[in-house]
Amino acid sequence: MDTARLMIPELGQLALALAFVLALVQGILPLAGAARGNAAWMSVGRSAAHGQLLCLVFAFGVLTYAFATKDFSVAYVANNSNAGLPLAYRIAAVWGGHEGSLLLWMVIFSLWAVAVTVFSRRLPEDMVARVLGVMGLVAAGFLAFLLFTSNPFDRLLPAPADGRDLNPLLQDIGMILHPPFLYMGYVGFVVAFAFALAALISGRLDAAWARWSRPWTTVAWVFLTLGNALGSWWAYYELGWGGWWFWDPVENSSFMPWLLGTALIHSLAVTEKRGTFRSWTVLLAISTFAFSLLGTFLVRSGVLTSVHAFASDPRRGIFMLAFLTVVVGGSLAVYAWRSPRIRVRGGGFALLSRESLLLTNNVLLAAATGTVMLGTVYPLALDALGLGKVSVGTPYFDAVFLPVIAPALFLIGVGPIARWKKAELPDLAVRLRWAFAVSLAIGLALPFAFGQWSPLVAFGVALAAWIAATTLVSLRDRLRSPPVPRAFYGMVFAHVGMAVLIIGITLVRGYETQKEVRMEVGDTVEVGGYVFRFDGVTQVPGPNYAATQATLEVTRAGKSVTTLYPSKRSYFSQQKPMTEAAIDAGITRDLYATLGDALSPSTWLVRVQHKPFLNWIWAGVVLLAFGGLLAASDRRYRLAAPSRREEQPLLQPLQPRGEHG
C-alpha cells in the first residue's frame, strides 16, 4: 500500500476538523457583526457556510472512497461492509452505521445552510447573518459530537483481512433512500429554528419573518413526510410481517417532529396572514427542532433497545443530552429575554374563526406529539428512576393516540371553510351540511360493501369522506374569486392526501386477512378471494447470499392474477436467514406472501396475506408531499421581500381577503 492511500482517511478527518472551525466562525462572527452593525463580520457567514459544505463533502467523499476500495483499516468500513458486498451497497453502507449517518446528517445540514445563503439574497443582511450564525452554532455542536464521540475515520490497526457486514436488513433500496430523506426533514427544521431565533434576537418578529420561514418549514416537512413513509414502506416489505407501523421508539422519534412540524406550518400561516400568535409560533419553531434533537438523542445514544438502535456508547448519550439541554435551554432563554418585546398587534378575532380553529388544531397536534413522547420516553424514565420496567406498545398507542388526533382530523374539514376573523356558526352549518351528510352516509354504508360492518371502520371512512368533501367545498368556494394562488392548491392536495391516507389505514386495519399453512407442491390456500397454489421451491444464488425461493401461482375466480416468489436468504456473513416477502401491489389490495421454515423436504410453512387498500397509504403520503411542494413553490415566496409593507403589521388585516395558505 502506498503512502498516498494510507493518508487519505486522515485527510478526511482533517476536513472534518476544518469544518468544525468554520462552523465556530460561522456561529460567532455574523452574530457579533449583526449586533454591532459590522457588515464585514456579517458577510463572513456566507463564506463560512460554503467552506463548511466543501469540507464535509470532501470528508464524505473520502469515506465513500474508503468503502469503495475496501479499506478495512478504517474501523467504520470494517464494521459495516465486507469484501463480498456489492459496490452499490458498499456505497450505501457509508450511512449504514452510526458514524457515517452522522456524517451524512452534517452534509445535509450544511446543504441547508448553503441553501439559505442562495435563496435569501433578498433578505436584510443582518437577518441572514443571524440565521447563519444560529445554524453555525448548532453545526459546531454536531461536528464536535462527530469528531469527539463518533469519528468515522478511526483506524483499526492492524487492518483485518475482511470486514464484518452491512446488516442485511439494510441491503435494500428502501433503506438506502430512507436516511437521506429523513435527515433532510429532521435537519431542515433547523432553518425554521434559526429564523425564529434570528427574529427574536433582532426583535423583528413580524409577518415578514413568518413569510420567510414558511417555505423552508414546508420543504423540510415534505422531506420528513417522505422519509417517514420510506421507512414505513421498507418495514412493510422487508421485515416480512406485513406491518407498516409499529410504534417503535425510533419511528416515534421521527413522527414527533413531523406532528409538531405540521402544527408549525399551520401556525406560521396564521402568523403570516393575521400577524397574531407570534409567541406561540416561535415556541413551536423552537420545539419542532427540539424534537428533532430529542429524536437524535433517542436514536443515536443507544438508550433504546429496538430494531434500529445499533449504537451503544454512553459518551454519546451524555454528549447529546448536554447538547439538547444547551440548545433548548439557550433558545428558551433568548425567548424569555426577548419575548416581552413581542406585542400582540394583530387584528383581534372571534372565538369562532379560522384563526381559532387553526389554533385548536395546533393545540391538538401538540397534545398528540406530547402523547407520543409520553409513550416513548415513559419506560425509559421509569427505568432510570428505578420505579420498574414497563413496555409501551401498539395497544397503548391505539387506545390513546386516536382520541387525541381524531378531533384534529375532523377540524381539517372546518378550518378552510371558516372565515378569518369571525365565523358564524349558522353560516358554517349551511356550507358544511352537505359534506356532513354525504360523509356520514358513506361512512355508514361503505363497510357493508366489505361484508362486515364495524364502528371503527365506519368512523375512519366517514372521517376521510368528511375531509375530502369539505376540501372540495372550500375549493369550489375559492374558485369563485380568482386568482387562486398555488399555495391553495397545495392545501387541497395535502388535505385530500390525508383523506386517502386515512382510507388506507382504516381499510387495511379493518379487513386484512391472513393464513399460515403447510404447503406441498400443488396445495392451495385462499385469502380475500385469491387462491395461491404452491409450485415448489428452487435454489437461487445471489451476489452475497443464497436464496430458497418458492413459487406461488395466484388466481382469482379461475383467472390467473400473478406469480409470487417469496424467498428466504442466507447471507454468507450472517447466521440467521432473512425473509424476503413477495408482494403483488394493486389499487384495491396488496397480496403479501412469505416463506417460512421447511417442515420436511417437501412441506413448507407459507403465510399469505390480503391487505385491502394498502397502497392508499403510500398514495396519501405522496399527495401530502406534493401538496407541500406546491405550497412551498407559491409565487409570493419568490417575490422580493416587501419589507416596507411587512414592517407594518397593522396593515395585515387590510390585505385582500381570501388569500390562502
- Contact residues toward other proteins (CB under 8 A) are 241, 246, 248-249, 276, 305-307, 309, 344-345, 347-351, 356, 359-360, 363-364, 366-367, 370-371, 374-375, 378, 382, 387-396, 399-401, 403-404, 515-520, 522-526, 529, 531, 533-534, 555, 557-558, 576, 596, 605-606, 648, 650-651, 654
Place of cell 391505539: 398
Sign of the alpha-carbon dihedral angle for 185, 191, 194, 195: negative
Q: 221 or 349: whose CB is closer to other proteins?
A: 349
Nearer to other proteins, 333 or 650 (CB): 650
Choose between 330 and 379: whose C-beta lies nearer to other proteins.
379
Contact 498, 568 (CB under 8 A): no
Nearest alpha-carbon partner for 289 in 191, 390, 372, 373? 191
Cell of 620: 396519501
The nearer residue to other proteins, 427 or 520, going by C-beta atoms, is 520
Cβ closer to other proteins: 370 or 542?
370
User: Quick one: 87 or 344, whose CB is closer to other proteins?
Assistant: 344
> Shortest gap between Cβ of 163 and other proteins (angstroms)?
23
What is the nearest approach in angstroms of other proteins to the Cβ of residue 55? 36
Question: What is the closest distance, in whole angstroms, from the C-beta atom of residue 410 to other proteins in the complex?
Answer: 14
Nearer to other proteins, 161 or 399 (CB): 399
Least Å distance, CB 169 to other proteins, is 12
Q: For residues 152 and 311, give the distance between their C-alpha atoms in angstroms, rounded to a whole number.
A: 13
Measuring CA to CA, which residue among 177, 198, 39 is closest to residue 116? 198
CB of 239 to other proteins, least distance (A): 9
The sign of the CA dihedral 244, 247, 248, 251 is positive
d(CA 217, CA 30): 23
Measure the CA angle with vertex 256, ends 137 and 633; round to 5°: 70
Supply the minimum distance, in Å, between the C-beta of residue 244 and other proteins.
Answer: 14
- Specify the residue, 325 or 524, whose C-beta has the smaller distance to other proteins: 524
Instruction: Give backbone dihedrals phi and psi of 263, rounded to 5 degrees, phi first.
Output: -60, -45
- The CB-of-230 to other proteins minimum distance in angstroms stands at 19
Strands 567-571 and 603-612, sheet pairing: unpaired
**Count helices and strands in the chain by DSSP H and E runs:** 18, 10
Residue 568: beta bridge partners?
Answer: 548, 579
Task: Name which of 204 and 515 has its Cβ closer to other proteins.
Answer: 515
Query: Which neighbouring-strand residues pair with 607?
Result: 516, 594
C-alpha cell recorded at residue 388: 420498574
Q: How many residues does the chain have?
A: 661
CB of 415 to other proteins, least distance (A): 14
Interatomic CA distance for residues 479 and 493, integer angstroms: 15
Measured from the CB atom, is 40 or 399 closer to other proteins? 399
Judged by CB, which is closer to other proteins: 148, or 378?
A: 378
Least Å from the CB of residue 152 to other proteins: 24
Strand partners, 68: none
Q: Toward other proteins, which CB reaches closer, 249 or 317?
A: 249
By C-beta, is 226 or 263 nearer to other proteins?
263
**What letters, b where the CB count within 10 A reaches 16 and e where it falls short, cover 295-327?**
bbbbbbbbbbeeebbbbeeeebbebbeebbeeb
Residue whose CB is less far from other proteins, 37 or 348? 348
CB of 291 to other proteins, least distance (A): 15
Three-class HEC string of 295-349:
HHHHHHHCCCCCCCCCCCCHHHHHHHHHHHHHHHHHHHHHHHHHHHHCCCCCCCC
Bridge partners of residue 556, in order along the sequence: 559
Instruction: Assess contact for 354 and 415: CB atoms under 8 A.
Output: yes
In the complex, least distance from residue 182 CB atom to other proteins, rounded to whole angstroms: 18
Q: Which of 620, 596, 622 is nearest to 525 (CA)?
A: 596
Rounded to the nearest whole angstrom, what is the least distance from the CB of residue 98 to other proteins in the complex? Answer: 16
d(Cα 102, Cα 85) in Å, to the nearest integer? 22
Residue 525 Cβ, how far from other proteins at the closest point, in Å?
5
Please provide residue 540's backbone torsions phi and psi, each rounded to the nearest 5 degrees.
-125, 120
Tracing cell 393464513 back to the chain, one arrives at 515
What is the Cα 455 distance to its own chain's centre? 31
* C-beta atoms surrounding 246 within 10 Å: 18
Q: How far is the C-alpha of 552 from the C-alpha of 564, rounded, in Å?
A: 5
Taking the least distance from each CB to other proteins, the nearer of 34 and 260 is: 260
Q: Least distance in Å: CB of 272 to other proteins?
A: 17
Contacts of 548 (CB under 8 A, 6+ apart): 537, 538, 539, 540, 567, 568, 595
CB of 650 to other proteins, least distance (A): 6
Contact 453, 499 (CB under 8 A): no
